[in-house]
Chain A
Amino acid sequence: MEEVKCYMPSTLIEALEIKSKVDCIPLAGGSDLMVAHKRTLGLTPKFDKPVMIIRNLPELRKIYINEKGECVIGSGCTSTEIAENTLCPWHLRQAASRMGAIGLRNSATIGGNIANASPKGDTPGPLYLLDARVKLSSVNGEREELVSDFIVKFRTLDLKSDELITEVIVPYSEDDFDYIFWHKVGTRKANAISKITLSQAIKFAEDGTVADYRVSATATGAKTNRSRDVENIIIGKKISAELIEDVIKAFDGVISPRAMPEFRREATRRMIRRFLSVAATHPENKVIDTYDDYHVTGQPEPRRK
Chain B
Amino acid sequence: MVAEDISKAVRRVDAVAKSNGTAKYVPDYDFGDCLWARMIRSSIPRGKILNINLPELPEGYTFVSYKDIPEGGKNYLHMIATDWKCFAEDEVRYVGETIGLLVGPDKTKLEDLLEQVKVDYEEMEAATTIDEGVACKGGAFVNDNNIHCHLKLEVGKPDEAFAKAAKIVEETIETGFQEHIYLETNGACCVPEKNGEYTVYASAQCPFYIRKSIAPLLNISPEKITVKQTTTGGAFGGKEHFPDVLCGPLLVAAHKTGKTVKMIFDREEDVEFSVKRHPSKVVFKTGLDENGNIVAMDSKVYYNVGGYLASSFVVLQRGCFHVTGCYEFPNFRTEGFGVATNTFPSCAFRGFGAPQTLFAIETHMCHLAEMQGLDPLEYKRRYFIKQGGITSTNGKIVERVMIPEMLDQVLKASDYERKIKEYGTGKGKGIGISFYNHGGAFTGNGEQAIIKGKCKLRKYKDGTVEILCGQTEMGQGFHTILPKIAAHVLEIPIEKVIFDDPNTSRVPDSGPTAASRSTMIVGELVERAATLMKPRYDKEEEFEVMTEYEHPEGYPWDQSTFQGYAYLGYGWGVCAVEVEVDPCTAEITTKGVWSSHDCGHLIDEKIVHGQVNGGILQGLGWGSTEVLENVKGHFKQTSISSYIVPTSMDFPKQGVYFVENPYEWGPFGAKGMGELVFNGSAAAYIDAVSRAIGKRICSIPCPTETVMNYMLNGKDIKEAL
Contact = CB atoms under 8 A, between A and B. Distances in A.
A106 interface: no
A43 B111 contact: yes
A188 B108 contact: no
Interface string A174-208: 00000000010101111111011000000000000
A110 interface: no
A263 interface: yes
Contacts of B580: 293
B582 A291 contact: yes
B704 A185 contact: yes
A190 B704 CA distance: 14
Contacts of B625: 187-188
Given A40-B38, A189-B647, A290-B583, A263 B107 contact: no
B17 interface: no
A229 interface: no
Interface stretch (B328-336, B453-461, B705-713): B705-713
Contact of B644 (A188, A270, A271, A274): A188
Nearest to B36: A42
Contacts, number: 84
B644 A290 contact: no
A42 B38 CA distance: 13
B111 A39 contact: yes
B704 A189 contact: no
A47 to B, nearest CB: 14
A130 B28 CA distance: 50
B649 interface: yes
B108 A43 contact: yes
A263 to B, nearest CB: 4
Given A1-B108, A40-B38, A43-B108, A270 B585 contact: yes
B186 to A, nearest CB: 11
Interface residues of B, dominant DSSP = loop
B583 A291 contact: yes
A39 B108 CA distance: 9
Interface in B19-61: 27, 38
Contacts of B582: 290-291, 294
Nearest to A187: B644
B450 interface: no
Interface string A38-53: 0111111000000000
Nearest to B581: A291
B266 A270 contact: no
B264 A271 contact: no
Contacts of B90: none
B586 interface: yes
B264 A267 contact: no
Contacts of A44: 108
Contact of A41 (B266, B583, B586): B266
Contact of B264 (A41, A183, A264, A294): A41
Contact of A274 (B584, B641, B647): B584
B123 interface: no
B587 interface: yes
A266 interface: yes
B417 interface: no
Chain B contact-residue range equals: 20 to 34
A242 interface: no
B151 to A, nearest CB: 38
B122 interface: no
A144 B350 CA distance: 56
A190 B585 contact: no
B269 interface: yes
Contacts of B586: 263, 267
Contacts of A42: 107, 264
Contacts of B38: 40
Interface string B257-270: 00000001110010
B650 interface: yes
A67 interface: no
Contacts of B708: 262-263, 266-267
B669 interface: no
B493 interface: no
A40 B641 contact: no
A190 B111 contact: no
Contact of B107 (A43, A188, A270): A43
A40 B266 contact: yes
Contacts of A183: 584-585
B585 A290 contact: yes
A75 B58 CA distance: 46
A185 B703 CA distance: 11
Nearest to B582: A290
B646 interface: yes
Interface string B696-718: 00000001110011001000000
A263 B647 contact: no
Contacts of B587: 185, 290
Contacts of A291: 582-584
Nearest to B621: A188
A213 B567 CA distance: 66
30 contacts: A2-B108, A39-B111, A40-B38, A40-B107, A40-B266, A40-B269, A43-B108, A43-B111, A183-B585, A185-B704, A187-B641, A188-B645, A188-B650, A189-B647, A189-B650, A191-B647, A192-B644, A193-B641, A196-B585, A262-B705, A262-B708, A262-B709, A263-B704, A263-B709, A264-B705, A266-B708, A270-B583, A270-B585, A290-B583, A291-B584
Interface of B: 27, 38, 107-108, 111, 264-266, 269, 580, 582-587, 625, 641-642, 644-647, 649-650, 703-705, 708-709, 712
Given A43-B111, A188-B650, 14 more contacts: A39-B111, A40-B107, A40-B269, A41-B264, A183-B584, A185-B587, A188-B647, A189-B646, A189-B647, A189-B650, A195-B705, A271-B584, A271-B585, A291-B583
Interface of A: 1-2, 39-44, 183, 185, 187-193, 195-196, 260, 262-264, 266-267, 270-271, 274, 290-291, 293-294
Q: Which 9 A/B pairs are nearest by Cβ-Cβ distance?
A: A263-B705, A290-B584, A190-B649, A270-B584, A189-B649, A260-B705, A263-B708, A41-B266, A189-B650
